[in-house]
């Protein structure tokens, strides 16, 4: 056993902490207010390699593995959830799908510009009638010569309006359904037939863009099939597994920031003749946040280690997402309570954190879906199938 981070990872954390403080934090409030993507930050992030942290250097990445990626999400997550949403969708699912199942040619053509940050990626799975039930997608892909013609639409797609490259799932054989009838494709958003639909007005993570994607007679060459024809669902589900650990890491950053803010305010705020840190109600809230943060940190980095050492990690990654999102929500909720009315004011940053945190319990597979993933895996070990 060895719980120490490698010197490389320690150095990476130090660099990212500085980047987060100097480049990300100053914009966090503005991008929320203005509902805008921080392009200037993303450009700088690309320069330091942040948009390709986990990928090998030969694909334009930093080569820091899942552990490095989790460090990145944690550090940036401490200061701005919108920014890690942009980065997480880009690395954790969009680029990851190509890294996992792309051909060498696809990786050269698409993963390299994504990992180097030259282009931004999006992951097109969700549809109006296919949310948690991802297999119920309707977007069609019909073979025509050496191409596929895509028709349909996707909703709630993070990075939709800013993406240059998008991995999408479409039905190639309606008779087969999710098992064999669904195929993943890599599309370039400049192609004719690709359109951005309405953008969502979200409760939080307003510095990330979420939109509808419309495919209208969109021609995709067959060499852009990602993975095998008919096995797109497998590619996408596997990709989501990878995204979950890092999503939990972003939540860890959010929870740590909530703890720090709560402590600072408990020390600064005087009521009833003393700082409120002297009150047990406040102490309990702080202690409870801190316990959960420690448990979450161990869970995240142990799961990252499973991934980096090529061990099975599906169940653990689901736990990172489930527990991480709930810990982050509880932490920021307690931090808001400690701040009293100030916590409810949009002049201060706690209320933004509170709105931002809530999405993690929902997106990239609702927490209900995570519980099913965890329970299925557990029951499978004693020979019980709970999912058809």
* Residue 164: strand, helix, or coil: coil
Half-sphere exposure of 120 (CA within 13 A, CB side): 23
Instruction: Please work out the total of residues on this chain that contact another protein, with binding judged by CB under 8 A.
Output: 41
Cross-strand partners of 285? none
Q: Does 355 bind another protein (CB under 8 A)?
A: yes
CB nearer another protein, residue 267 or residue 371: 371
Closest CB 378 distance from another protein, rounded Å:
16
* Residue 116: strand, helix, or coil: coil
Tell me which residues in 249-278 interact with another protein (CB under 8 A).
270-273
CB nearer another protein, residue 103 or residue 129: 129
**Span from 67-75, 137-145, 244-252, 334-342 in contact with another protein (CB under 8 A):** 334-342
Question: Taking CB under 8 A as the rule, which mask of x and - marks residues 92-131 in contact with another protein?
Answer: ----------------------------------x--x-x
**Which residue from 26, 174, 312, 340 is in contact with another protein, where contact means CB under 8 A?**
340
How crowded is residue 1: how many other Cβ atoms within 10 Å of its Cβ? Answer: 2
Q: Catalytic residue among 74, 75, 212, 364, which? A: 364
CB nearer another protein, residue 163 or residue 336: 336
d(C-alpha 180, C-alpha 302), whole Å: 33
d(C-alpha 217, C-alpha 53), whole Å: 35
Q: Does 368 bind another protein (CB under 8 A)?
A: yes
**Which residue from 4, 341, 382, 383 is in contact with another protein, where contact means CB under 8 A?**
341
* Residue 199: strand, helix, or coil: strand
**Which residue from 204, 227, 248, 250 is in contact with another protein, where contact means CB under 8 A?**
204
CA torsion 24-30-32-35 (nearest 10°) is -110
CB nearer another protein, residue 270 or residue 298: 270
For the chain, the residue count is 388
Instruction: Give how far Cα 131 sits from Cα of 35, 157, 183, 208, 324, Å.
Output: 24, 11, 17, 19, 21
Q: What interhelical angle do 65-77 and 232-268 show, nearest 10? A: 40
d(C-alpha 335, C-alpha 343), whole Å: 8
Q: Does 385 bind another protein (CB under 8 A)?
A: no
Q: Does 362 bind another protein (CB under 8 A)?
A: yes
228 Cβ partners below 8 Å, 6+ apart? none
Q: How close are the terminal C-alpha atoms of the chain, in Å?
A: 38
φ and ψ at residue 195, rounded to 5 degrees: -135, 150
Q: Does 200 bind another protein (CB under 8 A)?
A: yes
**Which residue from 361, 370, 373, 374 is in contact with another protein, where contact means CB under 8 A?**
361
CB nearer another protein, residue 210 or residue 224: 210
Q: Does 282 bind another protein (CB under 8 A)?
A: yes
CB nearer another protein, residue 281 or residue 309: 281
**Which residue from 17, 140, 195, 279 is in contact with another protein, where contact means CB under 8 A?**
279
Q: Does 153 bind another protein (CB under 8 A)?
A: no
d(C-alpha 245, C-alpha 295), whole Å: 14
* Residue in the block written with tokens 């005087």: 270
**Span from 22-30, 62-70, 132-140, 233-241 in contact with another protein (CB under 8 A):** 132-140
Question: Taking CB under 8 A as the rule, which mask of x and - marks residues 287-306 in contact with another protein?
Answer: --------------------
Closest CB 172 distance from another protein, rounded Å:
21
Closest CB 327 distance from another protein, rounded Å:
15
In terms of Cβ atoms closer than 10 Å to its own Cβ (0-12, 13-18, 19+), residue 12 is buried
> Could you tell me if 69 and 87 are in contact, meaning their C-beta atoms sit under 8 angstroms apart?
no
Active site residue 364: yes
d(C-alpha 70, C-alpha 268), whole Å: 32
* Residue in the block written with tokens 């959010």: 254
Q: Does 165 bind another protein (CB under 8 A)?
A: no
φ and ψ at residue 372, rounded to 5 degrees: -65, -40
Closest CB 174 distance from another protein, rounded Å:
15
- Contacts to another protein by CB under 8 A: 126, 129, 131-133, 136, 156, 200-204, 270-273, 279, 281-282, 333, 336-337, 340-341, 343-347, 351, 354-355, 358-359, 361-363, 366-368, 371
Catalytic residues: 364
């Amino acid at each position: 056993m060895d719980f120490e981070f490698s010197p490389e990872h320690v150095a990476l954390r130090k660099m990212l902490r500085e980047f987060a403080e100097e480049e990300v934090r100053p914009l966090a409030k503005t991008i929320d207010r203005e509902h805008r993507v921080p392009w200037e930050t993303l450009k700088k992030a690309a320069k330091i390699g942040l948009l390709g942290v986990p990928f090998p250097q030969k694909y334009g990445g930093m080569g820091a593995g899942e552990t490095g990626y989790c460090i990145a999400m944690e550090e940036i997550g401490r200061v701005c959830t919108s920014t890690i949403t942009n980065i997480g969708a880009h690395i954790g699912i969009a680029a990851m799908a190509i890294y996992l199942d792309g051909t060498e040619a696809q990786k050269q053509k698409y993963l390299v510009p994504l990992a180097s940050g030259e282009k931004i990626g999006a992951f097109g799975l969700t549809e109006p009638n296919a949310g948690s039930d991802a297999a119920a997608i309707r977007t069609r892909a019909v073979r025509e010569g050496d191409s596929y013609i895509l028709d349909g639409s996707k909703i709630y797609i993070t990075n939709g309006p800013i993406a240059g490259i998008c991995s999408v799932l479409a039905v190639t054989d309606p008779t087969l359904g999710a098992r064999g009838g669904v195929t993943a494709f890599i599309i370039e958003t400049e192609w004719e037939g690709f359109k951005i639909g309405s953008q969502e007005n979200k409760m939080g993570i307003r510095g990330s863009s979420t939109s509808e994607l419309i495919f209208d007679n969109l021609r995709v060459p067959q060499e852009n099939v990602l993975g095998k024809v008919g096995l797109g669902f497998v590619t996408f589900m596997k990709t989501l597994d990878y995204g979950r650990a890092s999503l939990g890491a972003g939540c860890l950053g959010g929870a740590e920031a909530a703890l720090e803010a709560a402590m600072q305010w408990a020390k600064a705020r005087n009521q009833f003749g003393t700082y409120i840190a002297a009150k047990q109600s406040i102490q309990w809230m702080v202690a409870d946040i801190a316990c959960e943060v420690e448990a979450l940190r161990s869970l995240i980095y142990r799961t990252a280690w499973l991934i980096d050492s090529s061990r099975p990690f599906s169940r653990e990654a689901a736990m990172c997402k489930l527990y991480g999102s709930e810990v982050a929500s509880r932490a920021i909720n307690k931090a808001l309570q400690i701040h009293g009315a100030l916590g409810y004011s949009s002049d201060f940053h706690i209320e933004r954190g509170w709105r931002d945190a809530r999405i993690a319990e929902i997106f990239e597979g609702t927490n209900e879906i995570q519980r099913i993933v965890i329970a299925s895996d557990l029951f499978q070990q004693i020979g019980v199938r709970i999912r058809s």
